[in-house]
Amino acid sequence: MKIHEYQAKELFRADGVPVPPGEVARTADEVYNIARRYGKPVVVKSQVLVGGRGKAGGVKLAKDADEARKHAETILGMDIKGLTVDKVLITQAVKIDTEIYLGVIMDRASQRPVIMASAAGGVEIEEVARENPDAIQRLTVDPLHGLLPFQSRVLASKLHDDFKVIRQIATIIEKLYRTFVRVDASLAEINPLVVTPEGKVLAIDAKINIDDNALYRQPEIESLRDLSAEDPGEVAAREMGLSFVRLKGNVGNIVNGAGLAMATMDLIKTYGGEPANFLDIGGSSNPEKVITAIDIILGDPSVKSIFINIFGGITRCDDVARGLVTAFEKLDIKLPIVVRLTGTNEAEAKEILAKMDLPTADTMDGGVKKAIELAS
C-alpha cells in the first residue's frame, strides 16, 4: 500500500526524524492562508501516489503567500500520470547546502532489510544508481539484532565531512530504520535529506510503502488509505478480496491465481487481442467473488467479451458455476462470456452450467481465441 508524502512525514516525525513544518490544503485560499501564517517562502507540493511530481510541474517554490496561491491554482486539479491532484502540502522552504539519499527496503536477494545511502541525493538518484553504483552505500541489517548504533555512525561518516552533521545523520538513520520496522514498511525513503548552510539536517521529502500482508496488525496505517486516489474498481475488488488492475484492452478476464491470470493476459495478447484487466479471484471459492468480479468488469464500457479461466484446486469449479448463475440473475449481462472450468468438481460445474447455453472451452487457448472472436 502506498501513502502520501505528508502521511509518511507524520510517521517519520513520530519517531523523531526532523521534518520542516507543513500543512495540507485542498483549495487555493487555504494555501494562501497557510503561507501567510508562515510568513516565509514555502513550497507547494502536489500530493498524489506517484513519483516524478517535480518533473511534472507539481512541486513549486513560492516567495510569498500571493505566489503560493497562484501555484496552488495551477497545481490543484492538475493531472500527473493519470492522477488528479486534489490536495497539496505547503511546507516552509529550506536553504539547501547538500542533498543526501537515505532509503530502507526489504531486499529479496539477501532476504534482509538493506539501508541505502548516497551523498548524491536528489531527483537524479536512479540515474546515479545506474551510472555510478559505487556512489550508493549499502548496509545489510540483521533483522534479529536490528540496526546497531556503530553501523549508523559508520554509514553516516561516508555521507558528510562535518562531524556535527554526521552525528545528526546517524541518528536519522536509526530513526528511519525504527519507522521501517514499526509500520511494517516494504520501502521507507528520505530523498532528499538536506543539510542547510547552518549545518541542520532535515527530511524534505518522504516516501513509505507498506507491506500489504502486515496491514492486519497496522490499523492506524490502514486508516491512512486514500480511497479517492484509487480506481473505484480496484477499491471494490480489494474489499471483496480480489486483486484487480485495469488495463486498456477490450477482452475482460476472470482467473484464479496470479500466475495463471498473467499467463491468460499474455495469451490474449499473443492471439491478437488486448486484455482489459488483470483479475485474480484468489484461492477460495466464494460465489460472491465471481459476482463482484463480473460486476467490476462490466463497469468498463470498453470491454466487449469476458473469458473466465478457472483451474480448480482449492477453488471448486461448482462454486464458480453457482456464482455465475447468480450473476446472470442479478446483473444485466449483455456481453458474451466464455467459460473454461477444469479441475476440482468440474463435472458438477458443467451440470450447473448446462442449461445456461454459454460458450465454453476445454483449453485456455481455445477459450482465449473464442473470447477475442466475440469481442471483435
Q: What residue ranges bind another protein (CB under 8 A)?
A: 51, 101, 103-109, 111-114, 116, 125-126, 129-130, 133, 136, 142-144, 181, 184, 186-187, 189, 191, 207, 209, 211, 213-214, 216-217, 245, 247, 255-260, 262-263, 265-270, 275, 278, 283, 311-315, 342-344, 363-365
Q: Which is nearer to another protein, 129 or 333 (CB)?
A: 129
Give dist(CA 256, CA 339) in Å, integer: 13
Q: Which is nearer to another protein, 38 or 244 (CB)?
A: 244
Q: Which three cell numbers stand for residue 145?
A: 539484532
CB of 261 to another protein, least distance (A): 8
Contact 192, 100 (CB under 8 A): yes
Give dist(CA 154, CA 233) in Å, integer: 47
Judged by DSSP in three states, 349 sits in helix
Give dist(CA 314, CA 31) in Å, integer: 53
Determine whether 131 is an active site residue.
no
CB of 256 to another protein, least distance (A): 5
Contact 100, 194 (CB under 8 A): yes
Q: Which three cell numbers stand for residue 4?
A: 502520501
Q: Which is nearer to another protein, 130 or 355 (CB)?
A: 130
CB of 68 to another protein, least distance (A): 28
Determine whether 124 is an active site residue.
no
CB of 188 to another protein, least distance (A): 9
Catalytic option among 5, 30, 174, 189:
189
Q: Which is nearer to another protein, 42 or 102 (CB)?
A: 102
Q: Which is nearer to another protein, 34 or 152 (CB)?
A: 152
CB of 224 to another protein, least distance (A): 17
CA distances from residue 280 to 31, 74, 124 in whole angstroms, order as listed: 42, 39, 36
81 phi, psi to nearest 5 deg: 45, 45
Question: CA end-to-end span of the chain, whole Å?
Answer: 36
Q: Under 8 Å CB-to-CB from 54, ≥6 apart: which residues? A: 123
Catalytic option among 32, 38, 101, 177:
101
Q: Which residues pair with 104 in a beta bridge?
A: 115, 188
What are the residue numbers of the active site?
101, 189
